[in-house]
Structure formats: C-alpha cells, structure tokens
Amino acid sequence: MAFGKLYLLPVPLAENTAIAVLPATHTELINHIRHYVVENEKTARKWLKEMGLKTPQSELEILVYGKHSEKQNLAPYFKAIKDGNDVALMSEAGCPGIADPGAELVAEAHRFGVEVVPLTGPSSILLSLMASGFNGQSFAFHGYLPIDKGARSKRLKELESIAERFSQSQIFIETPFRNNQLLDDILNSAHPQTQLCIACDITAESEFIQTKTLANWKKEKPDLHKRPAIFILYKKS
C-alpha cells in the first residue's frame, strides 16, 4: 500500500477570521482527512470547527506533539500515513514548521519518503515583514531573545549591528505578557535612529502595524501586554 500524504495545514491567527485568511479548499480537505497531528488538541479542535469541519470530531484521530517531540519516538505519528491515510499537521504558530516544533515531524516525513504538501495560510512573521517597509530580500528570524536583561540588551545590540552591516531585517518575538518589557529594552539598547516595526494582533480587528524610529517610539509607546506581537529591527548601512 502506498503511503498517505502529510499536509501542513495552517490555522487562523485570530478568531473569526478563517473565511478571510484561508482558501475554501481547506474546508474540503479537513472533511476528507480523519488523522491529525497537532501541537494542542483543544485549540486544534476549535480551529477545525471554525474552518468548517463537518465530520463528527469523535471520528477523528488526533495525536499531540510538542516542543520536545524530537526527543521522542516519532514512529507513532506516521502509522496512519504508512497505512495509506493522509494526515494533517497543525501548529499553534499558524503555519506548521515555521517557529514550530512540527518541523522535526516534517523532517522525519522526508526521511520516510512521505510526500509533504504545504498549504496556503497566514504567517505572522511574513505578514509583518511585508507591512514593515524593511528589506524583504534579506531577513532573519531569531525567535525569542534571552530573558536575562543584560543578555537581552547585548543581543539587541548585536542584531542592530547585523541589521546595519548587511541591511538585513531582524525579526523576533516575545511571550505576549512580556512584550512591554521587551519594548523598553529595545528602546534603551538601540540607537534612536534605528527603525522598529511593531506588528500585533495580525489579521484581527485590533491589528496594529507601525514602523518608526526608536526616537519616535519613545514619544508614544503602545501597550502590547498580552497581544501577540512581532518585532522587526532595521537600520540601513
């Protein structure tokens, strides 16, 4: 029997936006697939419902992976595929494999010779870069910066230097409840004329995207507490 396919199924970034941000063909797909590998079962079931799932959820097989999946035996995640069934991989990050531990499952699929099918969906990282006005030909995503204040300040200065030297957009994130502290550290660590794009609540009604110099951000700081946000630092050489 031929292997099934591994579909990389994006989810909305905000509630009540599935119709606006996902193609209608995704609804057809999820009503065909019965096997899912997800980062969080509760939210995966919520998104499937919003995306138009008609199959009773009791008929679905949902396996959970996490940030430590690379240390686990990955074979159970591929049993359905080896039995000839298509499987959808879903992520809390929006797009599977991007800033997401599911990348290890995708890598394993390639090792097994399984066909991997990426699907269209919103990526907060790319949408923020698109709207920033910064260099979209050279950019780097760094994930989370150090929590320690001193180490984080040092890292921010390093990213600023890289941005200026290579004209490269430097993208990073923080846990939403620590966004305001990160913003303060950026403002205190980098040069006033360095530019910063803040993009939060992407695709939601409360979406906020602005690019300013740090000097101008200091004049009017937004409250980013508990708002999913992307930060992009840029300084032309």
Q: Count the Cβ atoms, other than its own, within 10 Å of residue 184.
A: 13
DSSP 151-203: HHHHHHHHHHHHHHHHT-EEEEE--GGGHHHHHHHHHHHS-TTSEEEEEESTT
Q: Count the Cβ atoms, other than its own, within 10 Å of residue 101.
A: 18
Give pLDDT, residue 93: 86
Give pLDDT, residue 139: 98
DSSP 55: S
| pLDDT surpasses 80 at 67 | no
Give percent of the chain above pLDDT 90: 91
Nearest CA-CA partner of 135 in 155, 95, 165: 165
Nearest CA-CA partner of 182 in 162, 156, 213, 218: 156
Q: How far apart are CA 76 and CA 64, in angstroms?
A: 11
Q: What angle (nearest 5°) sits at the alpha carbon of residue 233, between those of residues 212 and 119? A: 105
| pLDDT surpasses 60 at 70 | no
Give pLDDT, residue 202: 97
Which residue ranges form the domains of the chain, and what is each CATH number?
A: 6-118 (3.40.1010.10), 124-234 (3.30.950.10)
For residue 160, with 0-12 CB atoms within 10 Å meaning exposed, 13-18 middle and 19 or more buried, which class applies? buried
> What is the pLDDT averaged over residues 127-154?
97
Q: How far apart are CA 132 and CA 188, in angstroms?
A: 21
> What is the pLDDT averaged over residues 157-176?
97
**SS3 call for 48:** helix
DSSP 49: H
| pLDDT surpasses 90 at 73 | no
**Residue 45 banded pLDDT, cuts 50, 70, 90:** very high
| C-alpha to C-alpha distances, 143 to 68, 100, 165, 170, 231, nearest whole angstrom | 17, 10, 21, 10, 10
Q: How far apart are CA 66 and CA 93, in angstroms?
A: 12
